[in-house]
Chains A and B, each alone.
Chain A
Amino acid sequence: MMISRVYLFLTFALLSESLFATGYQVLLQGNRQAAMGNLGVALNPDASSVFWNPGALAFMDFNQLTAGGNLIFATNSYWDSSSPGSQYTARTKNDLGTPFFLYAAWSPAGWPVKFAAGFYTPFGNRVNWGDWNGRGILREVNLASFYMQPTVSWKITDRLSVGGGVILAFGRVELNRSLPIDYNQGNATAAIEGNADLKAGFNVGILFKASEKINIGASYRSKIKMEVKDGETHFDIPASLAPNLFGPGVNYEAITFDASLPLPAAVNLGVAYMPDSKVTISFEASLTEWSEYQFFALEYSSPVLGESRQSSPRSYENSWAVKLGASYKMNGKFTFRAGAYYDESPVQKGYLTPETPDQDRFNMTAGLSFRFAEDWTMDLAYLWVNGQKRQQSYEDGLAAGTIVAPDPGRGISGFQAIQPGTYRSWAHIAGFSLSYTF
């Protein structure tokens, strides 16, 4: 019974993905944590500590199965501030983002070791600008990643436990942009889609109970390089033009692409303070090693519009997030939670591409747990993600190399990977999860 429900949930979830921390990180891997300012490394553990801090799991004195997810209603807005006097604005029509997670933690009673496993979606991105004025750069992107993580945690002493898991990751990417060709079907388009190869990484953590009232935790999740090999391309073009775009005699439907995208490592450090049995306050700082992401490059098996490689710089920088959260256990049934966090964007000036229209964000969170039966708890979370307004000019793009002006005299055809203008993003995120404790 249980299994079939989980299975159904899983197949549904696989159809869709997610967004929402800065960059293309998601960070929604447990609604208890999400409601407390999206922190969890130093909290007393539950099954979702598989993601937040595998080292904490051994302190669980219960077994637990948790399934949950989030609904992300995200919008990016754009104003063409780089054209003097422009009133042009655009808004994304992003499909609903639905990151999800599934965790289990189990051990025989009294063991100092906990066995656990998780299935979750730490990175993802879906942005759909449609036929906006930057359609030649990007119309739509869908990026999804799935992590599976069998985990073991060991309580070394009554105060210290460590743990770690092996991550098996796979993912999927879809991109779509317009070509400068008008025909009866509208703008011609070029699209790519491909599944990333299975890759391995790890997630390790440590929890130190400094006293009855203070937890100190740290975790480190390794980077994984997502690689798509022989992905599919789709060109909606007038067929008569194919020899001009791809060369004479080329079967353009068979053109494939290779690409890679780093899913960066993250370090989390946190402290939790529990002045009494009802209250928890926690502070956490996270560093995501975004500097891994220097270039986005696509390599085609055969030249597309004369280019067999498309590459543009990203030059992301490592970014910090600082988070504060609190919870209050009112009674045996209800616990209320709230938090706030500031999330620094890894995207530097001149590199703000439409697929990740990213800004520094100040987010507020709230939620509650409802223990509606002896063994069952339901968690609800709500997050308001508020991106700061961010402006980027044509000159910023030139300076960054994300815009190269054409110069036929020197044989430079030029390209444009950013759309100058002002961007802003926001999202409402609702979370729901269900935990069974045994």
Chain B
Amino acid sequence: MKKLITYFLAFIYAGLGMMLSCNPEAEPELSPDKGAADFSVYVAIGNSGSAGMQNNGLRAEYQLNSFPNILARQIRSTGFQGEFKQPLLAEGETTGNLKLTDFSNGMPVISSDPGTANAFLNVSSEGPFNNLGVPGMPVRFINTSSGTVRLTNPFFSRMFPETETDKSYIDYCIEKNPTFVTIELGINDVLLYASSGGKYGVQGDLRTGLFGITSPEEFVRNYSTMLNRLYANNSDIKGVLTTVADPTFAPFFNTSNELLRSSRSLPLQLSETEAVMLNIIYELGGYRAPDGSAEIFIVGGNYPVIQLGDSSSKIVRRFDAALGDYALQTIIPKLPRIISEGLGYADLENDSSNFALALVPIMLRNDSLRSEAELLSGLENEKEEFEKQINNTNDEIRALDSLIANETDAEVLTSLNIERTGLLQNLETQEARYGVILQNWKTKKAQTELLAAEIEQLKAPLRAEAEARATPFPTEFVLDGTEAGYVRTAIQEYNSFIGGQAKAYGMGLLDADELVRKIYNGVSIGGLPLNAAFISGGFYSLDGIHPTSRGQAYIANQFIEAIGRAGYGAHVPPVNVNDYKGVHYPE
């Protein structure tokens, strides 16, 4: 027995010794691996997303948290030792950015840091860069000479030598001889159109070539050129393409709808007089509903009226989220004007010229005109009735006449003639009554016309002022349902092309459209929510379009997943999203 116990004790002691020597940690089972990818020259081709823009501006802090920079850092663990050069702004410099300074009654107070003097200083001497993310770069311009692009894009200007005017963006991408690329382009082919509410129409501003929707043909042409040239330069290139995200999932397009819906101070309930008066003002101002009528306002609920189409359009209608309208984030500063100046309705403040009063005679006469018109149409009906009767009688007489002409029997002739005399008497009576009615009708018609003319006369001097006082929300504050439809159609065509190219070239694909929908629904990262709510959602920065650092980290992980799915055997470790900041709150 003693022996047994000794063995037992010895066993436990030995076991303890063994356990102390083994490693009890929960450890990663898979090491980072570059697989068949060559990460030695990673070039990020893209726009503001790749550049790391936040709060509508660039700063070094933002650039360091761009997804390409995060991705490059993660790629290092696979053995990549090269540089990932970014066109960094100097510490303290900003191209101008929004910041959250306070909350006042629960509403965010957003101010802006103006751009600093040297923000757009040309940094091309530090290049060539690996991060070629150029804010505002559309696919439309990637094959355009730098001399032209520079005219409208200071972000582009600062990155490339000022002396070069012939090279295109694609040329600069090739020059770096990338072995691995992320291509995040295409949003700017619709975004300026969408964020300006289609102000210039789908063709855009013809002077700058901006603000429109790039035609899918042009998009495909330029995008193909880029891919062809990248692969011609290095047939072994690997990378990830991104689809184009539907911008309407970003807070820039959603926050204001919510504000409009929840704003209790809007004059949403219109009385009959108000609706009538507003309709007169809009009619006088030359505005029409989409169906061509002047019935723009109705009694009861009315959201503000918006201008549809481009900025010259006179077609207006009530804002309606159910029709797919998006009130843009830029509308927020204008919301107080809804009350003070009737923006979206009519501006009747400071009415020293008694404009509103001048509308009253018109409204009264419109009422009389309406009843006169009713009478007139009654008379007209009567008039037509008699005309019909007289015609009938004439027809009967004509028929009788032809019978009489062919009749030989005298007895029958006599009776026919008697009948004819009767009809002639009838005709006489009818014509006498018709004469009275016709006279009445003529008088009424003249009266009505006079009234109408009088109304026109009253209206004429008011038209100019009515046009000024009818204040629909200008088109640039709303992306209406039709315009949103144009954006989506274009994106669908772009994306089906990009998806096909990723497959054809064996590149990874990040479905950015799916990503923004997922964020719109919301995700939870380690118990911390990440979603599309303005400010509190943590994904989007204060401009409502560009991601925060946390958003960028999340996007970097989506790229990493896409690399994993791409099938070249690379395992890049994802980043800890919660180590990156969302919107920075004031104290």
| A interface list, Cβ under 8 A from B | 75, 77-81, 83-89, 91, 131-138, 177-184, 188, 238-241, 243-244, 248, 275-276, 278-279, 281, 326, 328, 336, 338-340, 364-366, 382, 384, 386-387, 389, 403, 405-409, 413-417, 419, 421-426
What separation, in Å, do the CA atoms of A240 and B105 have in the docked complex? 9
Is B103 in contact with A364, judged by CB distance below 8 angstroms? no
- Most chain B C-beta atoms within 10 Å of own C-beta, residue among A80, A138, A241: A241
Q: Return chain A residues, CB-CB under 8 Å to B333.
A: none
Is A419 in contact with B2, judged by CB distance below 8 angstroms? no
B417 on the A face (CB < 8 A): no
Is B574 in contact with A86, judged by CB distance below 8 angstroms? yes
What separation, in Å, do the CA atoms of A75 and B26 have in the docked complex? 11
Q: Return chain B residues, CB-CB under 8 Å to A423.
A: 26
* 15 A-B residue pairings within 8 Å (CB atoms): A77-B26, A79-B28, A87-B28, A87-B32, A87-B573, A135-B528, A136-B524, A137-B527, A180-B530, A336-B9, A364-B19, A386-B24, A406-B524, A424-B24, A426-B24
- Most chain B C-beta atoms within 10 Å of own C-beta, residue among A78, A88, A382: A88
Given contacts A88-B576, A89-B25, A135-B578, contact A364 B526 (CB under 8 A): no
Closest to A418 in B: B527
What separation, in Å, do the CA atoms of A89 and B524 have in the docked complex? 19
Is B106 in contact with A77, judged by CB distance below 8 angstroms? no
Stretch at the interface among B127-135, B324-332, B579-587: B579-587
Q: Return chain B residues, CB-CB under 8 Å to A407.
A: 521
Q: Return chain A residues, CB-CB under 8 Å to B19.
A: 364, 384, 386
B532, chain A: closest CB distance, angstroms? 9
Q: Return chain A residues, CB-CB under 8 Å to B32.
A: 85, 87
Is A133 in contact with B526, judged by CB distance below 8 angstroms? yes
Q: Return chain B residues, CB-CB under 8 Å to A243.
A: 103, 105-106
Given contacts A86-B574, A407-B521, A414-B522, contact A424 B527 (CB under 8 A): no
What separation, in Å, do the CA atoms of A91 and B531 have in the docked complex? 28
What separation, in Å, do the CA atoms of A131 and B578 have in the docked complex? 9
Q: Which of B11, B105, B587 contacts A238 (CB 8 A)?
A: B587
What separation, in Å, do the CA atoms of A250 and B527 have in the docked complex? 25
Is B581 in contact with A182, judged by CB distance below 8 angstroms? yes
- Most chain B C-beta atoms within 10 Å of own C-beta, residue among A182, A238, A279, A403: A182
Q: Which of A83, A138, A279, A382 contacts B2 (CB 8 A)?
A: A279
Is A180 in contact with B26, judged by CB distance below 8 angstroms? no
Closest to A238 in B: B585
Closest to A181 in B: B585
What separation, in Å, do the CA atoms of A403 and B522 have in the docked complex? 13
B557 on the A face (CB < 8 A): yes
Closest to A186 in B: B581
Is A244 in contact with B521, judged by CB distance below 8 angstroms? no
A417, chain B: closest CB distance, angstroms? 8
Q: Return chain B residues, CB-CB under 8 Å to A84.
A: 561, 564, 571, 574
Q: Return chain B residues, CB-CB under 8 Å to A405.
A: 521, 524
Q: Return chain B residues, CB-CB under 8 Å to A403.
A: 524
Is A366 in contact with B12, judged by CB distance below 8 angstroms? yes
What separation, in Å, do the CA atoms of A406 and B530 have in the docked complex? 10
Is A366 in contact with B26, judged by CB distance below 8 angstroms? no
Is A86 in contact with B9, judged by CB distance below 8 angstroms? no
Q: Which of A134, A340, A382 contacts B527 (CB 8 A)?
A: A134
Is A415 in contact with B574, judged by CB distance below 8 angstroms? no
B515, chain A: closest CB distance, angstroms? 15
What separation, in Å, do the CA atoms of A425 and B536 have in the docked complex? 35
Q: Which 4 A-B pairs have the closest CB atoms?
A: A136-B527, A136-B528, A137-B527, A406-B522
Is A248 in contact with B573, judged by CB distance below 8 angstroms? no
Is B527 in contact with A87, judged by CB distance below 8 angstroms? no
Interface residues of B in 331-353 (CB under 8 A from A): none
B8 on the A face (CB < 8 A): yes
Q: Which of A87, A178, A384, A424 contacts B528 (CB 8 A)?
A: A178
B163 on the A face (CB < 8 A): no
What separation, in Å, do the CA atoms of A80 and B571 have in the docked complex? 14
Q: Return chain A residues, CB-CB under 8 Å to B13.
A: 338, 366
B231, chain A: closest CB distance, angstroms? 27
B292 on the A face (CB < 8 A): no
Closest to A129 in B: B526
Is B26 in contact with A89, judged by CB distance below 8 angstroms? yes
Query: Interface code B83-104, partner A: CB below 8 Å = 1, 0 otherwise?
Result: 0000000000000000000110
Is A85 in contact with B578, judged by CB distance below 8 angstroms? no
Is A183 in contact with B529, judged by CB distance below 8 angstroms? no
B322 on the A face (CB < 8 A): no
B326, chain A: closest CB distance, angstroms? 17
Is A136 in contact with B526, judged by CB distance below 8 angstroms? yes
What separation, in Å, do the CA atoms of A384 and B19 have in the docked complex? 8
Give the interface residue-count category, chain B: 35 or more
A324, chain B: closest CB distance, angstroms? 9
Apart from A80-B576, A382-B16, list 6 A-B contacts with CB within 8 A.
A77-B26, A79-B26, A133-B577, A136-B527, A384-B19, A413-B529
B287, chain A: closest CB distance, angstroms? 36
Q: Which of B12, B531, B573, B587 contacts A88 (CB 8 A)?
A: B573
Q: Return chain B residues, CB-CB under 8 Å to A135.
A: 526-528, 578
Given contacts A85-B571, A240-B103, A424-B25, contact A406 B582 (CB under 8 A): no
What separation, in Å, do the CA atoms of A91 and B25 have in the docked complex? 9
Q: Which of B5, B530, B536, B574 contacts A279 (CB 8 A)?
A: B5
What separation, in Å, do the CA atoms of A421 and B525 have in the docked complex? 13
Closest to A178 in B: B528
Query: Interface code B419-432, partner A: CB below 8 Å = 1, 0 otherwise?
Result: 00000000000000
Q: Which of B5, B15, B538, B560 contacts A180 (CB 8 A)?
A: B538
What separation, in Å, do the CA atoms of A419 and B25 have in the docked complex? 17
Closest to A84 in B: B564
Q: Which of A77, A80, A339, A415 contacts B12 (CB 8 A)?
A: A339
B523 on the A face (CB < 8 A): yes
What separation, in Å, do the CA atoms of A378 and B37 have in the docked complex? 64
Q: Return chain A residues, CB-CB under 8 Å to B15.
A: 340, 364
B398, chain A: closest CB distance, angstroms? 75
B1 on the A face (CB < 8 A): yes
Is B77 in contact with A87, judged by CB distance below 8 angstroms? yes
Q: Return chain A residues, CB-CB under 8 Å to B531.
A: 406
B411 on the A face (CB < 8 A): no
B504 on the A face (CB < 8 A): no
What separation, in Å, do the CA atoms of A131 and B585 have in the docked complex? 19
Is B578 in contact with A133, judged by CB distance below 8 angstroms? yes
B27 on the A face (CB < 8 A): yes
Q: Return chain B residues, CB-CB under 8 Å to A91.
A: 25
B29 on the A face (CB < 8 A): yes
Is A364 in contact with B12, judged by CB distance below 8 angstroms? yes
What separation, in Å, do the CA atoms of A130 and B77 have in the docked complex? 25
Closest to B535 in A: A244
Is A239 in contact with B561, judged by CB distance below 8 angstroms? no
Q: Return chain B residues, CB-CB under 8 Å to A86.
A: 28, 573-574
B560, chain A: closest CB distance, angstroms? 7
Query: Interface code B16-49, partner A: CB below 8 Å = 1, 0 otherwise?
Result: 1001100011111110100000000000000000
Is B28 in contact with A89, judged by CB distance below 8 angstroms? yes
B6 on the A face (CB < 8 A): yes
Q: Return chain B residues, CB-CB under 8 Å to A408.
A: 520-522
Given contacts A83-B574, A133-B578, A326-B9, contact A275 B526 (CB under 8 A): no
What separation, in Å, do the CA atoms of A336 and B12 have in the docked complex? 12
What separation, in Å, do the CA atoms of A382 and B20 have in the docked complex? 12
What separation, in Å, do the CA atoms of A407 and B15 have in the docked complex? 51
Q: Which of B30, B525, B584 contacts A182 (CB 8 A)?
A: B584
A40, chain B: closest CB distance, angstroms? 17
Is B574 in contact with A88, judged by CB distance below 8 angstroms? yes
Is A384 in contact with B20, judged by CB distance below 8 angstroms? yes
What separation, in Å, do the CA atoms of A306 and B526 have in the docked complex? 20
Is A134 in contact with B526, judged by CB distance below 8 angstroms? yes
A226, chain B: closest CB distance, angstroms? 24
Is A248 in contact with B587, judged by CB distance below 8 angstroms? no
Given contacts A135-B526, A340-B15, A414-B529, contact A79 B573 (CB under 8 A): no
What separation, in Å, do the CA atoms of A181 and B550 have in the docked complex? 11
Q: Return chain A residues, CB-CB under 8 Å to B11.
A: 338
